[in-house]
Amino acid sequence: MTSPDRPVALITGAAQRVGAVIARTLHAAGYDVALHYRRSENAARELVFDLERERSGSTLLLQADLSELAMLPDLVDQVLTQYGRLDALVNNASAFYPTPLGETTPAQWNELFASNAQGPFFLSQAAIPALRKSHGGIVNLLDIYAERPLAGHTLYCMAKAALAAMTRSLALELGPDVRVNGVAPGAVMWPSDGKTYDDRKALVSRTPLQRAGTPEDVAGAVLWLLRDAPFVSGQVIRVDGGRTLSV
């Protein structure tokens, strides 16, 4: 059964990878979770099955393409219909792929900005009334490449930089009722067509903690910002093992 006393978090891109670990981490911390996915229905349903075995009535599954902006208020409405509250929004969903200069297309611009900046903004806007009521929080999943661009990925870096600016601006606009922060991972999960082993080894060697991060590292930072950092807003926490300290 749902409980009016449990906090509720809406997590985008929650079916797989880091998003799924964030969902599991918040759920284990006592949150009911609304799990958004776009295409990964089987993985999303498997996650719901696991979480419902732990606590019945604790999940809500939401399907949407975040580029379809008219759908975004309905996601928030479904959460409020189910739970009567919304305490946290985690903008995790993200498209990521290279866009070499000279070959970049308007369609790639639209897709990368839709998932990494436009969708998070309009979903946050739709969630503001509920988050003000609960004195809740927003956490945006950024990337260290928003500050230190990755070669061949100009559009992705631009979109994440826009999301970083949005994080700071919304923190200013929504205080004192709503806190807004970001988490910027370093090397955590390699893309499916990702770096060779030698490239990965070289990257880790430049990281002071001498290891790649884990999804649990990222999820722990998200939970801390939502639950344990009541005087933190407008900040971007780098979860990168100190990698951005090296040149």
Q: Which of 31, 83, 145, 156 is catalytic?
A: 156
Q: Are 160 and 143 in contact (CB under 8 A)?
A: yes
Q: Is the pTM above the cut of 0.75?
A: yes
User: What would the 3-class secondary structure string for 124-175 be?
Assistant: HHHHHHHHHHHCCEEEEECCHHHCCCCCCCHHHHHHHHHHHHHHHHHHHHHC
Per-residue pLDDT of the chain (247 residues; tens, 9 = 90+): 556 789 999 999 999 999 999 999 999 999 999 999 999 999 999 999 999 999 999 999 999 999 999 999 999 999 999 999 999 999 999 999 999 999 999 999 999 999 999 999 999 999 999 999 999 999 999 998 999 899 999 999 999 999 999 999 999 999 999 999 999 998 776 555 444 444 667 777 777 787 878 999 999 999 999 999 999 999 999 998 887 777 5
Beta strands in 167-206 (DSSP E): 179-185
Sorted by where each starts, the structural domains of the chain and their CATH numbers stand as 8-245 (3.40.50.720)
User: Is position 156 annotated as part of the catalytic site?
Assistant: yes
Q: Is the dihedral of CA 109, 112, 207, 245 positive or negative?
A: positive
Q: Are 172 and 215 in contact (CB under 8 A)?
A: no
Q: Give me the residue label for tokens 């928003």.
A: 146
Closest residue by Cα to residue 245 from 194, 218, 202, 209: 209
